[in-house]
Amino acid sequence: MSANDVAHETKVVVRGSGLGFAQEISARTHRLVADEPVSDGGMDTGPTPYEFLLAALGSCASMTVALYARRKSWPLEAVTVRLAHSRIHAVDCAECETNAARLDRVEWSLQFRGNLTAAQRARLLEIAQMCPVHRTLRSEVHLPPPTVDSSPA
């Protein structure tokens, strides 16, 4: 890992009791909770892991689009990103390159408020797909098996 990689390293700690699904998440100075809905055996004390995944993509896309519009001095007033996650059969996905029986599908739409031209809106849609989280989700992610940390939690 180069010095440049270390500067962009993200660290998160997740703790759970083992008795339910609720998890305490620490990210820098922030404290979050993840859980599952009551219908899935959780207590619904926070978003699900997939809702956090969608939130990561939506917030990154919105931030990236807003930054681009500011740099161009475009009259973007607000961005709304709506996302949904589902699992589909690979045979139902003509544009997919996988041989897996099922795959994850994220559908998303963006709404731009402001006096933008059609060309500006089209460009912002392209820019949303260049956000770092989207690029990560679309790339090959190296995810080695976890290690066991024997130190006290």
pLDDT digits (tens, 9 = 90+) for 110-134: 999 999 999 999 999 999 999 999 9
pLDDT (mean) for 57-75:
98
- Output the pLDDT for position 74: 98
| 10/63 same-domain check | no
Band of residue 91 on the pLDDT scale cut at 50, 70, 90: low
Average pLDDT over residues 102-114: 93
The domain containing residue 126 runs over which residues? 48-140
- 133 and 60 in one domain? yes
Distance CA 36, CA 116 (A): 39
Is 13's pLDDT higher than 90? yes
3-state SS class at 2: coil
Q: Is residue 145 part of a domain?
A: no
Shared domain for 61 and 21, answered yes or no, is: no
Is 42 in the same domain as 55? no
Q: What is the pLDDT of residue 2?
A: 47
Selected residue with higher pLDDT from 6 and 64: 64
Residues 42 and 53 in one domain: no
Are 54 and 115 within one domain? yes
Task: Please report, for the domain that includes residue 96, its CATH number.
Answer: 3.30.300.20
Domain end point (choices 13, 28, 46) = 46
- The verdict on residue 2 lying in a domain is yes
Indicate whether 92 pLDDT > 50: yes
User: Based on the structure, what is the number of domains in the chain?
Assistant: 2
State whether 16 and 54 are in the same domain: no
Same-domain pairing of 12 and 22: yes
Q: What angle do CA 3, 9, 10 make, to 5 degrees?
A: 165
Q: Are residues 11 and 53 in the same domain?
A: no
50 touches 40 (CB < 8 A): no
Q: At 59, list the tokens.
A: 């917030």
Q: 129 and 96 in one domain? A: yes
CA pair distance 10, 56, nearest whole angstrom:
13
The predicted model scores a pTM of 0.84
52/124 same-domain check: yes
Question: 86 and 130 share a domain?
Answer: yes
